[in-house]
Structure formats: structure tokens, C-alpha cells
Amino acid sequence: MSSMIHEVYSYGPENIDTFWEFIWGLKADYVAVRDMMVSETSSRAAPPLSAARIRQKFAQEVDNGDTKLRQWEGQWGSLSENWSMIHFLLTYTWQTNWEREFRENYLPISVERFLGIVPVAYQPHYINQYVLPFIAEQVWKDFYIQMQDPTHAQLIFRRNKNGCRQIITH
């Protein structure tokens, strides 16, 4: 699943349980996921200087009598909340699709919550959390903000043939 989870949560919320039943019901040997996902630790106050830099840039931009930032905060909450700021930084570059994209929840599920819905028959085989380099570069260029929290996750799960999660010891 590549950049698919956030689409299902945004456009088919009534079908989320069916979606997960289908994915895990395939009983594939491997399930690979790549999507936007932050840790629950991202739910905290945003760095004040970062929020101020974003506000400064968008204070001058008016689109149809409203600013992108005002629309954003009306939908997702204040940039003073780190989760909202991260979400905004994943979205703000959209121009032609802004009306659609800013309403889409790019971060509907945390990494921890996602790991909690993985059936016990699947064992994590690979987990990588990161910020896409082009996003980090654009955010730095536009705001001089270095993104602190990983915004994306790559996960691979292997199904155990006996249906139980193996205990890994180091």
C-alpha cells in the first residue's frame, strides 16, 4: 500500500473496518506500507519560532478573500499544535488542488495506532520513519524550518505460517 491509507480514511471513513479486513484477510506472506504517518509523540506544542515563520509568510497571501492559513486552522486547528503544523507543512504547496487537498487528512493514524491494528499473525520485518528529502528541502527553503518529526513510514510485515507472532530476542 503506497500512499493509500490516508486516502481511505479521508474518502471512505465508513469503510475503514472493511478495508482492514480485506487487507489482512488476503493472508499475504508480506504486507508493505508506505504512507504519511507521524508518531503520537508529535501531539505536543509546536516550536513557537516555526509557527511564527509560517504565519509571517502566509499573513500576506490572500486567496478569494481568505488565507490558506485561516482555512487550514479552521479545518485542522492552530499551528501552535505540532501535529497541525506538520500536517500543514505536508499540504501548503498545493496550488491548483488546494480546496481538495487541505480538507484531506494526511495523518489519520499514528504509527503506534497502526502497529496496534496489525494482526498478531504478522510480525514487523522492517520499519523506517523519515521525512521525504524534497519536503524537508522545500520547508527549509520557504520557512528556514528544519523538520523535527518523521512524516512518513515504510513498514513491511511478514506473516508467520503458524499464525502467531514470534518472540524476537537480541
Model confidence over 80-137: pLDDT tens digits?
Answer: 999 999 999 999 998 888 888 899 999 999 999 999 999 999 999 999 999 999 999 9
pTM > 0.85: yes or no: yes
Element (DSSP H or E) covering residue 55: helix 48-58
Give 123: exposed, middle or buried? Use CB within 10 Å, 0-12, 13-18, 19+. middle
pLDDT at 169: 45
pLDDT at 170: 42
What's the chain's average pLDDT? 90
Domain ranges of the chain: 5-159
pLDDT at 167: 52
Rg (CA), the chain: 18
pLDDT at 62: 59
